[in-house]
Amino acid sequence: MKRRRFLNLLLTILGLTAVGSFVYPLLRFLAPASGQAVAKEVNLKKSEIPVGTAKNIPLNGLPIIIINRPGKGFIALSRVCSHLGCLVDYDQTQSRIICPCHAAIFDLEGNVVSGPPPKPLPRLALKVESESLVIG
């Protein structure tokens, strides 16, 4: 009988450990992630970007470009080329966006005009207020 008692005890301990090692991950899994930083917004003055020009700024570590398109207003796009990740640049003379790595060309909406990228440039939320822009 002693053996049975010992075995029962051992199995209870192992069983509880097993249950505990599932309950703890389960709780962490289901509970909302703590310390998830609320995405920071960026404020810019409209006057910083004259019509026809663009500005490169970082947003939460992601490089983005804000273009003041003549006649169409402001747009905020990610600068990470959807081909291999190089950072794209604004070509003012031809009103388009070019990637220096493999000559991908995007239009001012972020759509692919030519070149290897498979997807358009991601667009970011941009709000226009009276004197400033709020991105993010």
Partner 1 sequence: MRIKNWLEIRIGLDDLIRTQLTEYRVPRNLNITYTFGFVALIAFLIQTATGVLLLFYYIPHSETAFRSVQDLTSKVPYGWLFRQIHVVTSSLMIVMVLLHALSVFFLGGYKKPRELTWISGTFMLLITVTFCLSGYLLPWSQLSYWATTIATTMPTAFPYVGDMLAKLMKGSEQVSGLTLNRFFALHVMLLPFILAIILSLHLFLVRRIGISSPPFGKSAEAEKPWTGYRHESYPNGYPFFPDFVLKETIMTMVFCAAIFFCITFLPTLFLPEEANIPADPYKTPAHIKPEWYLLAPYQMLKIIPNKFLGVSLQLILLLIFISWPFLDTQEEKNILKRPRLLGLFFFSLILWLVFTLWGKYS
Partner 2 sequence: MRYPLALLIILMLSSATLGGWKEDFEKAFLTRPWTGVQAPGDVCIECHASDMMKPEIRDIPQKWKTSWHYQNGISCHNCHGGDPKDAANAMSPQRGYAGTPKYTQVPEFCGKCHVGILKNFLESGHGRALKSSGKGPNCVTCHESHNIQKASINIINERLCAKCHSYERVKIMKQALFVTENKMNEIDKGLKELKAEGVFTEEEEKNLFNTQAEFRILFHTEDVSLVRKRTDEFGHKLNQINVKIQKTFEELRFRRNFSGFLMMIFVGMAIGFLLLSRRPKE
Residues near partner 1 (CB under 8 A)? 25-26, 28-30, 33, 118
- How many other CB atoms are found less than 10 A from the CB of residue 4? 8
| 86 is a contact residue toward partner 2 (CB under 8 A) | yes
Contact partners, residue 111, CB within 8 Å, separation at least 6: 120
| Least distance between partner 1 and beta carbon 100 (Å) | 25
Residues 6+ apart with CB under 8 A from 39: 60, 136
Cβ-based nearer residue to partner 2, 8 or 132: 8
Residue owning tokens 């998830």: 36
Name the minimum Å distance from CB 11 to partner 1: 10
Q: Which residue of 39, 84, 113, 125 would you call a contact of partner 2, by CB under 8 A?
A: 84
Strand partners, 91: 96
Min CB(31)–partner 1 separation in Å:
8
